[in-house]
A and B are shown apart, each in its own frame.
Chain A
Amino acid sequence: MAVNRWLATGNYFTTYKEEQRIFQTNLDRTVFIAFLMVVFTWPLYFEVSSKYMLVVDNILIAIIAVIGLNLLTGFAGLISIGHAAFVGVGAYTLASFSRVLGDSHVLITHAWPLMLLISGGIGAVVGAFVGLPALRLKHLYLAIATLSFQMIFLWIINFSTFFNQGQTIFIGRAYWLTGQVARDDHYLFWYYVMLVIVVMCGFGVRNLIRTRYGRCLVAVRDNDRAADAMGMHPGLTKVYAFALAGFFAGVAGALHAYLFRGVGFESFTLGHSITYLAMAIVGGLGTLVGSFFGPTAIYMLDLKVENVAEYAGTIFSETMNLATGLRPLTFGLVIVLFLMFEPRGIANWWRISRSYFKLWPFRF
């Protein structure tokens, strides 16, 4: 694949095809491949305690969910305060299989890639259904509609005996080519699975954005009447966007269920929906890289706060319950500060630093 070598010096596109390329220069591709290799091999060189491996796994799940949310909120401009419920739909799809077939049925333990796809599919269907109000509603009203979906979802989980009234529903251990995944390898195994899925999702979305439909999404966000006049179908585009977000969330939910080997209502509350939204905003709405930065930043922050709270707990009296207080406090502060001082999120820092290195030694 011949790459226009003038691109290394700045914006020098000569064809549209060139502008649409995933990797614009050879250096970009080399760096990316090197990065992937590091990501895939680092667990072989470092001994990671399972506590931190769990955090990494959580980040990857959140990345998959946030990619979906970013498509919905960032690219299509539809605010969703119910994304955790979509994730929950995926997880509870798996849970209902477990309830009907038993938690260690062959389908669940051996055919987990199929289950991931099914969960994603159900998530997409539910997403499209929830997105139906988007045909009539905009902005605020749509946000409130998704919020009510979140509340209705929680009610259904909490009050139906089929879903064990929100108590944990167990999911069996997965099998790999070499047999059942051992207890010690559990987090590592799912790390690799999720890594592959994240890479696939990333390329999928990157490709989606450059298709006709991806441009439709952005056009509908920017001005739906103009998009309508250009022959797009804003309503359908929005419902598709919800379905796509539902798919990503569903896959993330199923992975969550497998990783924790159980499903309970407490992972899909309104607070989690808000966290996903915050991740998307901190990362950068409407950018693909933002969906990777956001969850990582928020989880890292959480870890730090936990450490600080643990340390502070030894100094102050225990009645202060610092840990429960500090987490929402810093979380809220981060959201507010980002919105006030860097509304384009970490992705903007990434863009600035990239162009700095690209243009060095010149300023612009």
Chain B
Amino acid sequence: MSYFLQLVVSGIVVGSIYALSALGFVLIYKSSRVLNIAHGQLIATGAFITYALAVWAGIPIALAFFLSLIITFFIAMSVERVFLRRLIGEPIISVIMVTIGLMSILDGLIYLTPFGTLNFSFPEFLPTTPIRLGGVSISWTQLVGVIITTILIGGFSWFFRKSTLGISMRAVSDDQLASMSIGISIPRVFGLAWAAAGFSAAAAGTIIGNITGLNFETLQAFGITVFPVVILGGLDSIIGAVVAGIIMGLIQQFAAGYLDGHWGLHGTASLLPYIILLVILLFKPHGLFGIHEIERV
């Protein structure tokens, strides 16, 4: 039983990270219908900036985290301005390919820094002894990660529900023409969506980096793992991203805990999300919470 609970706890930890990574992805898709394949690179960038500020520049880690969020916010915003702004209204393959090109460019830039090939880990700033609760243990980094994730997701949902800017972003995702006619600047909203995505990506990156260590391959892999999550939750639903993130985390942990090593199976945790993705695409393409807008042939 405690094994099961342990899996549930670690599933929720992994899942909340997925939720935070998927959040940024969904933000971009929701407002501008762009499939951002470079999201993993944004996550990695955020994590590396935090590390560089905290360790190389010697800034206290909390402040470094905050600064990294701001910097990535502006990086993502300028990415939208430079690369995506020109392609508004272009065919879908161009937009996908531009984010792929972006991924390649960011890859190249990161490989030019020491982060590309070497491994780093954040200095310990939390107690290293894990918390034990009735046979279930959770480390401080994981706990803090989950707490920050919850705060950020809460903040984002407040932002979209209450603030004028958030409401205007929702309006754009609902109907671009109508929102243009009531005076919402669409390019600005797109830029803001990317910026918010960069913000959440930096947070996700730093949290992942704290838990698993800073390795470029691991961090950027989150950009691909995020696909099953967002498809399960529905590409344009923030709630969906959160719920699906946690479901996916649990599924992965259970797969790793119960399936691996039996019946000659290995590494099912990395396979199962994609099988779920295919099944969801075949039977319920809009996901759990997405808007039903799939056009059937």
Report which A residues bind B (CB closer than 8 A). Answer: 73, 77, 79, 81, 133, 135-141, 143-145, 147-149, 151-152, 155, 158-159, 224, 228, 234-235, 238, 270, 274, 277-278, 281, 285, 319-322, 324-336, 339-340, 343
Contact = CB atoms under 8 A, between A and B. Distances in A.
A329 B109 contact: yes
Given A73-B93, A148-B228, A322 B105 contact: no
Interface of B: 35, 83, 86-87, 90, 92-94, 96-98, 100-112, 114, 116-117, 224, 227-228, 231, 235, 265-267, 270-271, 274-275, 277-278, 281-282, 285, 294-297
Given A149-B278, A325-B112, A339-B90, 5 more contacts: A143-B35, A274-B103, A329-B108, A332-B104, A334-B101
Given A136-B297, A143-B96, A332-B103, A155 B271 contact: yes
A325 B281 contact: no
Given A136-B296, A136-B297, A332-B104, A152 B275 contact: yes
A20 to B, nearest CB: 27
Contacts of A145: 277-278, 281
Nearest to B266: A159
Given A138-B294, A151-B224, A336 B98 contact: yes
Contacts of B104: 274, 328-329, 331-332, 335
Contact of B274 (A148, A277, A329): A148
Nearest to B92: A139
B266 A335 contact: no
Nearest to B267: A159
Nearest to B283: A136
A135 B96 contact: no
A327 B105 CA distance: 9
B205 to A, nearest CB: 19
Given A148-B228, A277-B97, A332 B112 contact: no
Contact of A328 (B83, B93, B111): B111
Contacts of A137: 281, 285, 294
A325 B109 contact: yes
Given A151-B224, A152-B274, A329 B294 contact: no
6 contacts: A151-B271, A159-B267, A234-B297, A270-B224, A325-B112, A343-B90
B112 A322 contact: yes
B93 A141 contact: no
